[in-house]
Amino acid sequence: MCGRFAVTLPDDAMAALFDALAANDLPDVPNYNVCPTNQISVVTSDEGTRRLRPMRWGFLPHWYKTPNGGPLLINARSETIAEKPAFKAACRERRCLITCTGFYEWTKTPEGQRLPWYIYRADGAPMVFAGVWQDWRARDDSGDEFTTTAIVTCAANDPMSKIHHRMPVVLEPDDWGKWLGEEGKGAATLMRPAADDVLDYFRVDPAVNSNRAAGAQLIEPLDPSEI
């Protein structure tokens, strides 16, 4: 699963990373505490032209009458994405890339205290998730319209399973074109856990337990004396 993440890469660097044309209304970065329903920067491909675009994190199926018309769909399970009514069309036709510096996951003590962990690429490179997206328009008089997205998740690899049983699908650069549909079929083969040596993690301050927390200190390793 992925319920919170951090983005520190500037817009121009993100566009260069993907060789994408950047929109002029991208969300502000850095953001060390990206939460569901926030706007995030997402890469799509239109006939081979990649575009870096803002989207609402929280997928809205077309039948939702309002943004709160059903469960908040921030993740899509790889095992069922091709069959679930909410995601099956997007899985075939509207795949995207979502980049971050790292993401957060939580474990619990026997007493129920939530302990946050920060997960990042061991090689220091930006992390890129598989995603799907959907345009949505309100079915009432509000006139609301959103372009929305969800992160694809899979079973955790062995290191990640010590923290959580799920993890985002992490794509390597050679896989980006296939996931975006630029290289024909085969995207389904990419929905697998990252190799065991791709990610690393450390404990961070419980301040990030609040979705209002902000600042670079959120991704700093917790002092061993405080663990």
**Is residue 224's pLDDT more than 80?**
no
Residue 85 phi/psi, 5-degree rounding, is -55, -35
Structural domain of residue 114, as residue ranges?
5-226
According to DSSP, the residues that pair with 56 across neighbouring strands are: 39, 148
> Positive or negative, the Cα torsion across 201, 203, 206, 207?
negative
How do residues 157-187 score in pLDDT, each as one tens digit? 999 999 999 999 999 999 999 999 999 889 9
How far is Cα 170 from Cα 192, in angstroms, rounded to an integer? 8
Q: Which two tokens stand for residue 15?
A: 């566009």
Query: Residue range 23-30: average pLDDT?
Result: 97
Q: The domain spanning residue 196 has which CATH number?
A: 3.90.1680.10
- pLDDT class for 140, splitting at 50, 70, 90? confident
* Each residue's pLDDT tens digit, 81-102: 999 999 999 999 999 999 999 9
The pLDDT score that the predictor gives to residue 53 is 98
Number of domains in the chain: 1
pLDDT at 107: 96
